[in-house]
């Protein structure tokens, strides 16, 4: 057991004001892995007090010193990388190699990329007879998801600290242990590199208690939230009375538009890889593959072949490409969507709602591919958050664009074509915040965020830092 019995406030590990604990369950074995404090609103009050006490000192710390602190945190994450990778693999179920590269590697990059703080902050500028200055927004409440736990914590915390803000973090109660290790690393930086105590605070707990207390707290100046659209709407409602700024990275139902000149041997397996990344538990998963109708039989064959290479299994086995889903709730939800797809008439190519063979223990789901999916079907419109790909046929490019834009979401997308300029032309007409051309790798320095019900604001690089700044006009 890896029990945690304290939260982190003002540079010190202290007991929660609540008496309860939350169990962290290993999704592979279904056994309790650890417990963490079940925080209460009084813990948020104390965390906000600590963050406000630290705000003046941290915001006035020179950018170079803030950058040095962020670099030390990146070094600490790198030093404990094997431990973190194994921990995330256990509590999330992501295969170990992927956990190392994605969950921990991207977290290291988030902090390291923020180290040159002075280069990321916009310079003061003159407009007319005024000076325009940029100041930290103040105390930031960061509420992070379970699907990319350490990576999402790092994206928010690193950018907020770089901007000169102080932070109250609530990690997901489902996958919280990695955040406690980050807290240990940050605690070392307070002693070694001059990070101001109270600049970072950690309160574990549930969304309805700790998350809602953060969103509604009058002492918090901004909330940065990643999670479901439903929960993001609730955060906005709670934040509205205090008119605090809200940044939201929410759900998606991302299209992958395969044009008629695309290399199908590349487009189909790599498109499916996007849909199945992290067992499909990704807001940016390209879960709708749009293909020209004449190419549908070839695409179906390639998709089945690719999907059947994703046999789920033990995250610590070297050959495993897909682990379990994070919880029994998520597993049951995804299986229900698969059943719904069958009931509504989608063509099941592979997979299905039954448990995978030989995996009676663990929250596993069969990698599933549907074809002949139409826009009126539930699996074409709602975010499934599991390893389910919906193939949709179109007649011409205009219909492909209509299908691509025919959801309430607008987070991510993909376009495949032998002609890059043609692909760019299609990409510009897709209403999403992020589009990958021909499977281009994710860029952690470029802005990421959504349109429509996929969110408000952008993360990563200087764009992420700017989210945590206020603009002030000084009339001269």
pLDDT in tens, 233-247: 999 999 999 999 999
**What pLDDT score does 1 carry?**
65
For every residue of 172-237, DSSP letters joined together read: -SSS-HHHHHHHHHHHHHHHHH-PPTTSEEE----IIIIIHHHHH-TT--EEEEES-HHHHHHHHH
Identify whether residues 42 and 188 lie together within a single domain.
yes
Q: Is residue 97 part of a domain?
A: yes
Number of domains in the chain: 2
Q: What are phi and psi of 241, to 5 degrees?
A: -60, -30
Shared-domain flag, residues 304 and 413: yes
DSSP for 121-164 reads SPPPEEETTEEEEEEE--EEEEE--SSSHHHHHHHHHHHHHHHT
pLDDT at position 51: 98
- Does residue 284 sit within a domain? yes
Tokens of 213: 């207390």
Statement to judge: residues 224 and 266 lie in one domain: no
Residue 401 has pLDDT above 90, yes or no: yes
Which pLDDT tens digit goes with each residue over 341-375? 999 999 999 999 999 999 999 999 999 999 999 99
Tracing tokens 């703080």 back to the chain, one arrives at 117
pLDDT bin (cut points 50, 70, 90) of residue 446 is: very high
- CA-closest candidate to residue 37, choices 59, 11, 7, 63: 7
State mean pLDDT over 151-165.
98
- 126 & 226 share domain: yes
Crossing angle of helices 105-113 and 81-92, in 10° steps, is: 120
Tokens of 372: 């002949």
CA 261, 369, 408, 209 dihedral sign is: negative
Buried residues in 325-362 as b, exposed as e (16+ CB within 10 A): bbbeebbeebbebbebbeeeebeebbbebebbeebeeb
3-state secondary structure of 442: coil
Q: Is residue 87 part of a domain?
A: yes
Whether residue 133 is predicted with pLDDT greater than 70 in this model: the reply is yes
Q: How many CA atoms lie within 13 A of 209 on its CB side?
A: 17
Are residues 188 and 231 part of one domain? yes
Q: Is residue 116 part of a domain?
A: yes
Residue 111 pLDDT greater than 90, yes or no: yes
For the chain, what is the mean pLDDT? 97
Is residue 192 predicted with pLDDT exceeding 90?
no
Catalytic residues: 249, 283
Task: Give yes or no for residue 191 having a pLDDT over 90.
Answer: no
Task: Examine residue 173 and state whether it is found in any structural domain, yes or no.
Answer: yes
Rounded to whole angstroms, how far apart are CA atoms 48 and 134?
23
Residue 449 located in a structural domain: no
Clarify whether residues 318 and 169 are in a common domain.
Answer: no
Is 469 within a domain?
yes
Does residue 126 have a pLDDT over 70? yes
Per-residue pLDDT at 193: 86
Kindly indicate the confidence band of residue 140, based on its pLDDT and cuts at 50, 70 and 90.
very high
- Under a CB-based contact definition with an 8 Å cutoff, are residues 468 and 140 in contact? yes
pLDDT at 41 over 90: yes
Mean pLDDT across 4-29: 97
Residues 105 and 75 in one domain: yes
Q: Which residues of 275-295 are buried (b: 16+ CB within 10 A; e: fewer)?
A: bbbbbbbbbbbbbbbbbbeeb
The DSSP H or E segment spanning 435 is strand 434-437
Sheet holding 125-127, edge to edge: 125-127, 130-136, 469-475
pLDDT of residue 225: 98
Query: Average pLDDT, stretch 243-261?
Result: 98
219 and 322 co-located in one domain: no
pTM: 0.97
**Of 442, 379, 452, whose CA–CA distance to 410 is shortest?**
452
* CATH number of the domain residue 412 falls in: 3.40.309.10
Extract the tokens encoding 131: 């000076």
Section 269-277 average pLDDT: 97
Report if residue 404 sits inside a domain: yes
pLDDT digits (tens, 9 = 90+) for 66-88: 999 999 999 999 999 999 999 99
Write down the pLDDT at residue 3. 86
> Do residue 213 and residue 304 come from a single domain?
no
Furthest-apart CA atoms within the chain: distance in Å: 74
Mean pLDDT along residues 416-437: 98
Which CATH number belongs to the domain containing residue 157 in this structure? 3.40.605.10
Whether 208 and 301 map to the same domain: the answer is no
For residue 189, give both structure tokens.
């930086």
| Amino acid 54: pLDDT | 98
Residue 299, pLDDT score: 98
Residue 27: CA atoms inside 13 Å, Cβ hemisphere, count? 32
Which among 365, 363, 312 is positioned nearest to 338, based on CA atoms?
365
Give the tens place of pLDDT for each residue, 302-327: 999 999 999 899 999 999 999 999 99
In percent, the amount of the chain with pLDDT more than 90 equals: 98
pLDDT value of residue 17: 97
Retrieve residue 283's tokens: 């807001």
- pLDDT at position 366: 98
- Asked whether residue 140 falls in the same domain as residue 60, the answer is yes
Query: Are 411 and 463 contained in the same domain?
Result: no
Domain that residue 320 falls in:
255-443
Mean pLDDT throughout 404-418? 98
């Amino acid at each position: 057991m890896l029990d945690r019995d304290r939260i982190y406030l003002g540079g010190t590990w202290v007991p929660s004001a609540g008496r309860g604990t939350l169990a962290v369950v290993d999704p592979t074995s279904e056994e309790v892995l650890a417990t963490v404090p079940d925080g209460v609103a009084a813990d948020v009050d104390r965390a906000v007090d600590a963050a406000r006490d630290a705000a003046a000192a941290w915001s006035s710390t020179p950018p170079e010193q803030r950058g040095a602190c962020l670099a030390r945190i990146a070094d600490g994450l790198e030093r404990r990388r094997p431990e973190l990778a194994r921990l995330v693999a256990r509590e999330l179920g992501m295969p170990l190699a992927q956990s190392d590269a994605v969950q921990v590697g991207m977290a290291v990059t988030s902090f390291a990329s923020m180290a040159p703080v002075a280069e990321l902050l916009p310079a003061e500028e003159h407009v007319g007879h005024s000076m325009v200055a940029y100041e930290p927004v103040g105390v930031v409440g960061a509420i992070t998801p379970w699907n990319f736990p350490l990576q999402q914590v790092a994206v928010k915390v690193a950018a907020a600290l770089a901007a000169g803000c102080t932070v109250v973090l609530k990690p997901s109660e489902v996958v919280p242990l990695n955040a406690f290790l980050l807290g240990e690393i940050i605690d070392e930086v307070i002693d070694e590199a001059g990070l101001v105590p109270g600049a970072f605070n950690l309160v574990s707990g549930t969304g309805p208690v700790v998350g809602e207390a953060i969103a509604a707290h009058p002492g918090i100046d901004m909330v940065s939230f990643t999670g479901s659209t439903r929960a993001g709407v609730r955060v906005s409602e709670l934040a509205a009375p205090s008119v605090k700024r809200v940044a939201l990275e929410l759900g998606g139902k991302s299209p992958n538009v395969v044009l008629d000149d695309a290399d199908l041997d590349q487009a189909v397996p790599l498109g499916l890889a996007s849909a199945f990344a992290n067992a499909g538990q990704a807001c940016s998963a390209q879960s709708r593959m749009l293909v020209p109708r004449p190419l549908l039989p070839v695409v179906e064959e390639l998709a089945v072949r690719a999907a059947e290479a994703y046999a789920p299994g033990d995250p610590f086995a070297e050959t495993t490409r897909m682990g379990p889903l994070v919880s029994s709730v998520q597993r049951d939800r995804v299986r229900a969507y698969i059943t719904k797809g069958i009931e509504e008439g989608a063509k099941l190519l592979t997979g299905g709602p039954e448990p995978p063979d030989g995996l009676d223990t663990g929250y596993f789901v069969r990698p599933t591919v549907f074809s002949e999916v139409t826009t009126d079907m539930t699996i074409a419109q709602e975010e499934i958050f599991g390893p389910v790909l919906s193939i949709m046929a179109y007649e011409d490019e205009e219909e492909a664009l209509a299908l691509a834009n025919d959801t309430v979401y607008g987070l991510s997308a993909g376009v495949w074509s032998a002609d890059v300029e043609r692909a760019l032309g299609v990409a510009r007409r897709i209403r999403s915040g992020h589009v990958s051309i021909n499977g281009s790798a994710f860029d952690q320095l470029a802005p990421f965020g959504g349109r429509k019900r996929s969110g408000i604001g952008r993360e990563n690089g200087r764009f992420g830092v700017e989210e945590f700044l206020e603009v002030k006009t000084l009339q001269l």
